[in-house]
Amino acid sequence: NVSEEVKERSLRHNSSSISLNHPIVQSGQKQGRKIYGSPTMSDQTALTCPSLKLGPGESLRSHTADEFIYVNEVEEGIKIYIDMLNELM
C-alpha cells in the first residue's frame, strides 16, 4: 500500500487561463514562442484582465537557491516583449 498526503500550495491564488485565440497569445506564437499550460502559480492569477506568463531565461533555474540569468537571455527577453507589443499595435 502507498500512503500520500496532499497539501494545497496556496489558498489565495486560483488557477487562470487565456484563450489560445487571444491576440497576445497569437502574438507570442508568431514570435516563435511555445504555447503550453503550466502547473505553477504566479501573481498573474490576481489580475482581472487576460494575461500570460512569459519570462526570459531557463525555467529550471528560476526560484532555486542558485537562481541566475545570463545577460543575453535578458536581452532576448526584451526583444521578444517589444516584438510582441509591436505585433499588437
CATH code for the domain in which residue 73 is found:
1.10.150
Q: Does some domain include residue 8?
A: no
Greater confidence (8 vs 63) lies with 63
Whether pLDDT at 2 is above 90: no
Residue 31 located in a structural domain = yes
Concatenating the DSSP letter of every residue in 14-66 gives ------TTSHHHHHHHHTT------S---GGGG-SS------SS-GGGTTSTT
In a domain, 4, yes or no: no
The predicted structure's pLDDT at residue 14: 76
pLDDT tens-place string over residues 24-72:
999 988 888 888 887 777 788 888 888 888 888 888 888 889 999 999 9
Domain annotation covers residue 69: yes
The total of structural domains in the chain comes to 1
pLDDT at 69: 95
Which domain does 79 fall in, by range? 23-88
> Alpha-carbon distance 9 to 39, whole Å?
11
Any domain includes 9: no
